[in-house]
Copies of this chain bind each other. A is one copy, B any other.
């Protein structure tokens, strides 16, 4: 793995979203939203979170465009919270967290709920990261590199023609 300079200057795509998701309660709210919870009371009952804290978290998620409010489907005065397109984009992150949790925090006999495909009810496969040319990639197979502007992702491998090899030198110890 190569060393790189501080992320602050480059605007790291991992650091920037952390403001929006904010904290772990927010991730649990998002998890519940994926599971179909929509109403304040449902989130509150599921999470056992104090109402004022839940209110703040929900407002933060709405402000960051992850959830949006809509009138409740039953015509009542309440509102419901639904995932936006941006919020739905967190699906892989939640799956990754789930799969890591299942692997390292559970005995197999403890796992009584699984994420399955709706069509056949089979547990989903592990998330896969692939190169443009289709190879499965693990942490040793990929790295962060500085790229030239105007990079277009090519479906065929084309060595270094589109990518500046921006590996930084190791900092002196």
Contact = CB atoms under 8 A, between A and B. Distances in A.
B93 A96 contact: yes
Contacts of A11: 106, 110, 112
Nearest to A102: B13
A149 B107 CA distance: 12
A10 B31 CA distance: 14
Contacts of A36: 1-4
Contacts of A10: 112-113
Contacts of A144: 35, 113-116
Interface of A: 1-4, 6-8, 10-18, 20, 23-24, 27-28, 31, 34-37, 39, 42, 45-46, 48, 65, 74, 76, 83, 86, 88-106, 109-133, 135, 137-147, 149, 151, 153-154, 157-160, 162-163, 165-166, 171, 173
